[in-house]
Chain A
Amino acid sequence: MKAAPFDYAAPTEVDEALALLDEFAEDAKVLAGGQSLVPLLALRMSRFDQLVDVNRIEALRGIELVGETLVIGAMTRQATIERDEEVRRHAPLLAEATRYIGHFQIRNRGTIGGSIAHADPTAEYPAIALTLGAEVEVASVRGRRRIDAGELLESAYTTTLEPEELLLSVRVPVWGARSGFAVHEIARRTGDFALVGGAAAVTLDEADAVARAHVVLFGVADRAIRLSSLEAAIAGQPVDQLDLAELAREATAELRPPSDVQATGAYRRRVAAPLTERLLRTAFVRARRAGDPTEEAAR
């Protein structure tokens, strides 16, 4: 369990990092918190000639509200996000989901950029990015671009990032009034990657009908997926008239989740339904509360 040989560079500027990535392309790898990459290297499941450690690049760290978007630097630690006031206020789902990531030791090192770039199909952050409709900003020596989370996540451990590209930041839109969120997962132990997890973000109109809903499951496919048919089915519907159990069952019936030593695919499909139901129920309750001025004041 010792890594194969590699060269190591620790630039302090984004441009330096981009130049290295450009020079070594597929043979280079970005090292962020190392919580996924280092075990892969140690197990010799991955090998790269050149590691580009971006921990010393100050510009990649930080959380800032820009207009209606929360911009989070790629190298911001999960632990920072978990405790950040701006995140709690403007993207409470992100803060809540962070507690499900590993253990505090891991969150002290692990980063949001690393977590999303790694694209583990059972990881929380890629799923939350999808739920909230986040984008990532990426750069290479040729320039910058933004990629929607839905387009970024391609399959298990694979994104549409080019090897020369560095993820700079995650741009999380702020959901407006009367929005509610939920995240939950089933795992073998506290801190494990989810067997099945999910998140929901909803906005209600004044009549308590669904104005907007994103419902995402992870651990059920090769990447986090949105339950688009469910979202469509509830759009515009009054919350009180929804048969959530039935809707959740229908929305999950066609899933074909993977089996592994921790759980069968059939199990994952089976519990996806009650999980989805629970997510929506919680999100609706919270959305109503978020619209209630006395609740706002109480918070």
Chain B
Amino acid sequence: MSTVEKPSAARFVGARVQRREDPRLLSGHGQYIDDVRLPGMLHATFVRSPLARARIVAIDLEHALAVPGVVAIWDGSALNGDAATPLWDWAGEGTPFPEVRALAEGDVRFAGDPVAIVIARDRYVAEDAAELVDVEYEPLQAVVGRELAEASTGRAHDGIDTNVAWSAASPTDPALEAAFAASAHVITETFRQQRHVNVPMEPRGLVAHWERGAEQLTVYASSQNPHQDREYFARVMGLPEHHVRVIMRDVGGGFGQKIFRTREETAVALASRRLGRPVKWIEDRQENLMAANHARDEQMTLRVGVDADGVITAIHASHLADVGAYPLMPAMMPGFMALEVLPGPYRFARYGWAGKSVFTNTSGISAYRGPWMMETVAREIMMDVVAREIGVDPAEIRRRNVIQTEDLPYTTPTGREYDRISPAQTLEAALEEIGYERFREEQARARAEGRYLGLGISTYIEPTAGAQGPTGIEAATVRVEPSGKVNVLMGTGSHGHSLETTMVQVVADQLGVPIEDVRLLQGDTAVSPYGGGTAGSRSAVIAGGVARISAIKLREKVLELAGHLLEAAAADLEIEDGTITVKGSPGSSIAFADVARIAYYDPSRLPEGMEPGLESTSRYSAPPATYANSTQVCTCEVDVATGEVRLLDYVVGEDCGVMINPMVVEGQIAGGVAQGIGGALLEHLAYDETGNPLAITFKDYLLPTTEDVPDIRYVHVETPSNTPGGHKGVGEGGAIGAPAAIVNAVADALAPLGVRVTSQPLSPDRVLAMIDDARSA
């Protein structure tokens, strides 16, 4: 939809511009929630259920209230009524949903369920008092385990007489069955992915400040989405939207966990209104691992038909997700998204699917970087299973199935329309960079010495910038101030994805001013226009797109005014480094800053009918999705005596369209790959059979460290998208592709032993157990 023409050569877009937020962040001057200190501020903590499922018999606050410095303690029956509506509700036809209240009331539904909020002078006192809150529980049967929930005699929720939260399937399709029947091979396998936690470096937290008099709620939020937070607090607090202000400053990561506001944050806001004082809550790490939302915890069974050459003829996929007790997205989402995206980078016509989600007495599921990525996990591991089974090389089977340029435009069996993608190119680029043939020789030599090396490939299409409802549009106000300096106001936020650099690059290019002269103001609903926040890899495409549109519009005005002042046609002018010059006559020029000053202070010098000032606001409505594509390839060595896996080399071939800043692109990929390495090898938020979480400190929930992440090499392919800047999203691909690449590398290493790898994490004990199983089989 390039309705706006590109007026000038890019100087900043495409360059490795240093991150402009880094001096602030790296010198310890970031402003996170815990840096917010307001006069009279109180501190909150929560009393949490130690049990997964129990009736609350009695709550005794007497000893706790006697602790000096305690201001208030409320349980659910005391506080929940202050909310004007249920906090969120995704109930629908055949999809039950529990009533979501700020605090547990009557019963508890997962270990960590907040039962009471304690408000005190400081956090220490609050925790001293929280220990003394005496809650009497009558234990009930907990529903635990994705594969056990449906048949469990227990119920995850009171009032919902099933643990099945969603269930659906594609209509029976004789053509699909015929395709399977005609296939040379039909292979079925189930792939499992354990429960993860998003683990932002900064856990959840907020300062809520009810300002009496103004009757306004100001929330300092650790969020991905300030404008939707404003709507949320207005709704649940029963306030008009213009009496709520949400300020989101630096955010120490979200990865999906901070898209929506949660029960605890709501309780804090309600408490602030009751007390008429600012209340701060900083979630600690134990709470974050136990009670902030979790992710993944799903499995997918694939039935794949191929012809004698390994060309896919049909796929049936069925997905099962554990969404916990209070999911932060509709219960259908994990399954529906994964099943819909599954066809990915391959050409095939026949597809069927089935999906089911279950409630359990565990912390609820939320989005996590590529929340549909089970499709890539299952499909890409399956490609290797099929390849091995029919004796085709894993690179070759992908070549035979991957969508080629001449296939475009291409519509998947689920109706997704691909146009400007290059999956065959990124596949080849990654294979070449890793040195595929050379590695196969090295692998053969190592095997002869009794060493087990492996290589894994993972190819995928990443749907980015999904545009529906509040996430479909983005706005940018570009304002040249009277001095010629430029403020850009956007509804985006700062949590590590570099928008203070990339949006500024886009605007500085269009206005022709030095990059230091442009600044992004974001994350404050009182300052910036409505935006959809950060989710679904949307910022480069939609925010980058509108920053460009708005800057181009303003550029036109600047040139019109400058042309008037220089007595030249706007079309004959160029702006470079803050000076506007008549092309070909360098003597005839005017400083950008002078144009700005005149625009504001000297209306008499403006052309007839021109409005004073230099400001433009645009909104851009994005296409339904913009597709990026990528292949990750890695190599590893497995020690078959100890089960230890060591990653050796890592390559990502990626096409995210026009790169605003390759360094930022690579940073996004690297972060995602690191998270994928964590998922493949280390991370597991396990529960025991009673619903007790077993990894609630970093001693047990293992994140990859710099020592576990190899140096990653990148190959970029740039196929411009059909959006104003030609960008595609790149926020999630790293995390989407990495687990399958690593699992495939380990499986490739162990292939001589007959090992098939279908689940994660690949801890040393599980690797040895798989080798044992294969030997005894």
Contacts and interface: CB of A to CB of B under 8 A. Distances in A.
A192 B702 CA distance: 9
Interface in B693-718: 694-695, 697, 699-700, 702, 704-705, 707-708
Contacts of B686: 261
B643 A190 contact: no
Given A189-B705, A190-B708, A267-B643, A2 B123 contact: yes
B746 to A, nearest CB: 15
A188 B764 contact: yes
A186 interface: yes
A43 interface: yes
A188 B123 CA distance: 34
Contact of B702 (A3, A189, A267): A189
A261 B695 contact: yes
Given A1-B286, A2-B123, A43-B697, A267 B768 contact: yes
Contacts of A186: 642, 644, 764
Contact of A5 (B128, B285, B643, B695): B128
A65 to B, nearest CB: 34
A271 B642 contact: yes
Contacts of B700: 261-262
B131 interface: yes
Contacts of B702: 188-189, 192, 262
A160 interface: no
A102 B642 CA distance: 21
A44 interface: yes
Contacts of B768: 267, 270-271
A264 interface: yes
A271 B641 contact: yes
B764 A2 contact: no
Interface string B623-657: 00000000000000000011110000000000000
Interface string B1-16: 0000000000000000
Nearest to B126: A2
SS of A interface (majority): loop
A274 interface: yes
B684 interface: yes
B682 A274 contact: no
A263 interface: yes
A176 interface: no
Interface in B662-703: 682, 684, 686, 694-695, 697, 699-700, 702
A191 B131 CA distance: 33
A189 B642 contact: no
B34 interface: no
A261 B765 CA distance: 10
B763 interface: yes
B124 interface: yes
A267 B124 contact: no
A267 B285 CA distance: 29
B202 interface: no
Interface in A240-299: 261-264, 266-267, 270-271, 274-275
A274 B641 CA distance: 7
Contacts of A270: 768
B684 A261 contact: yes
A193 B707 CA distance: 15
Interface residues of B, number: 30
B268 to A, nearest CB: 17
B707 A191 contact: yes
A212 to B, nearest CB: 28
B707 A267 contact: no
Contacts of A188: 682, 702, 763-764
Contacts of A2: 123-124, 127
A256 to B, nearest CB: 16
Contact of A261 (B284, B694, B704, B769): B694
A188 B677 CA distance: 13
B284 A1 contact: yes
A270 B643 CA distance: 11
Contacts of A103: 705
Contact of B705 (A44, A191, A274): A191
A43 B696 CA distance: 11
A110 to B, nearest CB: 15
B297 to A, nearest CB: 16
A191 B769 CA distance: 24
A2 B121 CA distance: 14
A218 B226 CA distance: 51
A263 B682 contact: no
A263 B765 contact: yes
Interface in A1-26: 1-5
A87 interface: no
Contacts of A43: 286, 697
A198 to B, nearest CB: 12
Given A191-B705, A261-B694, A262-B763, A5 B124 contact: yes
A195 interface: yes
Nearest to B772: A270
B705 A190 contact: yes
Contact of B704 (A189, A263, A267, A271): A189
Nearest to B688: A261
Interface in B86-126: 123-124
B764 A263 contact: yes
A44 B641 CA distance: 39
Given A43-B286, A261-B700, A262-B700, A189 B682 contact: yes
A190 B707 contact: yes
Contact of B764 (A3, A191, A267): A267
Contacts of B705: 103, 189-191
A297 B583 CA distance: 77
A70 B147 CA distance: 58
Contacts of B285: 1
Contacts of A262: 700, 702, 763, 765
Given A261-B700, A262-B763, A189 B708 contact: yes
A265 B775 CA distance: 20
B202 to A, nearest CB: 14
Nearest to B641: A274
A189 B686 CA distance: 18
B679 to A, nearest CB: 14
Please indicate which of the listed interface residues A1, A103, A274, A275 has the most CB atoms of chain B within 10 Å of its own CB.
A1
B642 A274 contact: yes
Interface in A130-183: none
Contacts of B769: 267
Contacts of B644: 186
A191 B704 CA distance: 11
A149 B699 CA distance: 27
Listed from nearest, the 5 A-B pairs whose CB atoms lie closest are: A267-B765, A1-B284, A190-B707, A263-B765, A274-B641
Given A188-B702, A190-B707, A267-B769, 9 more contacts: A5-B124, A39-B697, A43-B697, A44-B131, A188-B763, A189-B682, A190-B705, A195-B765, A263-B765
29 contacts: A2-B123, A2-B124, A2-B127, A4-B131, A5-B124, A5-B128, A103-B705, A186-B764, A188-B764, A189-B702, A189-B704, A190-B708, A192-B702, A193-B699, A261-B684, A261-B694, A261-B695, A261-B700, A262-B763, A263-B763, A266-B765, A267-B643, A267-B764, A267-B768, A270-B768, A271-B643, A271-B768, A274-B641, A275-B642
